[in-house]
Structure 1
Amino acid sequence: MELPLLILLTTQVLLPLFFLLWLWLPRPTDRLGWAMRVLYGASYFAFILVIGRWDFLSADLELVLPILFVALAALSYLRVRDRPWNGARSAIRKHGLTAAMAVFFLALTARALSGYGYQETAVELAFPFGPGTYYIGQGGGATAINYHHAERSQHYALDIVALNRFGARANGLMPENLTDYVIFDREVKSPCTGVAISAHDGIADNPISQTNTSEPAGNHIILACGTARILLAHFRKGSIAVSGGAIVTEGETLGRVGNSGNSSEPHLHIHAYLGGTLEPDAGLGVPMTFDGGRFLVRGSTVTIP
């Protein structure tokens, strides 16, 4: 099993199950012990709900797990409501580590939530896909929820996948066939009206878990929309439908999602930047908003009817 998948299963399956079971076993000796377990569990759930990639399992779990935690916490209180508030001689000695870990995860959550906003003027775009449900795998203004944020030109880049009816991005955790990924071969629409100042095709799609770091953007298009440049990357080989210099209109088909370039599985990468022209890593990344000012971050879902 690959390390990223093992980490995901540990953080988003095994540890949540631990915190759910810990509400019951062993039964706390006092109500303060119960309260500290609830605080620790709630802080961890808050953290993992913000930074987790729920499209690997099911985006529906993002709602089911906190509801389940709240319900079990309420039921578990019935087991300790007749017990004293604090039966320990030193509450700090008994519960200090639990409290410290709760504060630690709350601090990490706050840091990730700082990426839910932006200060710069955003570029308003149309969402680049037709009917379906889509999930933001990377996005936001903090590296905790968007690893692209560390790159100057990609501060607010998005990685977009599509979800099936079970809320997962693929048929399986990490299937080997590109066609098992819902987003693969989906039509990409132009997010704005402008000029395709660059269109690059001919790069092979990578097998799953392999990347092409020599051509990071893979098959890609750069649009000039007003003063901003919009890069759309990782198209399927042979699918790009416009040529460099062509005028494109919002909603026009640009190509199809593939897995070319520095991409380990099918998704669409999009980012906006100011300055630079034909270089995908040039310029200064700026925020993007979609269809009425919505700023998308990791975990956001977009449903196009």
Structure 2
Amino acid sequence: MRLVFAGTPEVAVPALDALIASDRHEVVAVVTRPDAPAGRGRRLVASPVAERAAEAGIEVLKPARPRDPDFQARLREIAPDCCPVVAYGALIPKDALAIPARGWVNLHFSLLPAWRGAAPVQHAVLAGDEVTGATTFELEAGLDSGPVYGVVTEEIRPTDTSGDLLTRLAFAGAGLLAATMDGIEDGTLQPKPQPAEGITLAPKIEVADAQVDWQAPALRVDRLVRACAPAPGAWTTFRGERLKLTDVVPVPDRTDLAPGALAAGKKSVLVGTGSHAVELRWVRPQGKKPMAGADWARGTRITEGERLGD
């Protein structure tokens, strides 16, 4: 089939690579978000998908909005059979959905209908799910509600961050998306409606949502830190400045610390929660690079009675 691939971040690149490598399909163009400012100089940088497509000599379309008439006119000229989508980052309007003969097929990183929305992996980690996966489904006007072509499952490990899990899902999902394109082409796959039960939503996790509540139990704190890594990054405050937490480990045998209270030793620093303590393995003070929690505590010279979150 003639394919137009839609995607933007690094997590979409494995799927694009899988389709480029296919001997059954031709990726004739890529749709991605416009170049965005990045780095200290805030210079405009192309998306990872745009860069990969350019390397492969594939036409790159960067509409400001998918409803732009010029973009839709070009898509009609290309006349794709199907448009596979991975983390494109914008809603596809109905008139654009109707252009490819076999529709748009989205690769979503959850087992639908669980965790519909922008942050399925983060919410799966935050909820303490033991298993997640990836789903290919027919894109329609509703939020991740279209009929399903196929799924793959993936275990969530006890120490997984969202970044760890998403990396594995990106590669497993790439194979699923390529197989879905094959099945659509040869007629062996027909999408099936999603179940009406088990729907959960996964809205984007904002910076405010990533603030640690030290009254919460240690298990909840650990999940929040892992769910928000690498972005937006869990955080708390200390001496009026923001302190990011990039790695914590529950310490079940320390129940003597009040929520937010600090206990700094030579090799570790602990903080109390609503249940037992957690060790701050890695932190990132405001305006500085990540560092080991023990190094931060030594340099900060924590005094008795100081707390996180005050």
TM range (shorter): under 0.3
TM-score under structure 1 length normalisation: 0.26
> Relative contact order: is structure 1 or structure 2 higher (C-alpha 8 Å, sep ≥ 6)?
1
Query: TM-score, with normalisation over the residues of structure 2?
Result: 0.25
The structure with more strand, counted as a fraction of residues: 2
